[in-house]
Amino acid sequence: MLVAAVLACWIAMAAYSSYRSDQALRVQLNQLQVQTSSLGGQVKAQRQEVRYASSSAWQAELARADGLGAAGEQTYVIETPAQAAGPGPVEQAAAQVGSAVTQISQGISALG
């Protein structure tokens, strides 16, 4: 009788352990399915991005970002009023001082 009771307890514990294991695996399966569907959307978006990045339109945009243009393409430069007016008095004075310093340093190096 004691052996039958121990055997019944052992079978009950094994069944409960199996049930708990099945529940844990089911939860993990659900989490993995959610992650898979999420990654599927990301993969699709990245494939579209790669497809677009390999197009000639994307290559032309990259060239324009680097300051290049296609052959025969007309480029227009729009200046602000301050740029169109040229350098102001401060910039002119700084340029004059810079050229004076350059001339002085050239004169000193010519003496030495």
Question: 9-48: per-residue pLDDT in tens?
Answer: 888 898 888 889 889 999 999 999 999 988 988 999 889 8
pTM of the model: 0.37
DSSP 8-state class, residue 71: T
Instruction: Yes or no: say if 49 and 58 are a contact pair by the CB < 8 Å rule.
Output: no
Look up residue 7 and give its amino acid. Answer: L
* Confidence band, pLDDT 50/70/90 cuts, at residue 8: confident
Extents of the domains making up the chain: 1-67
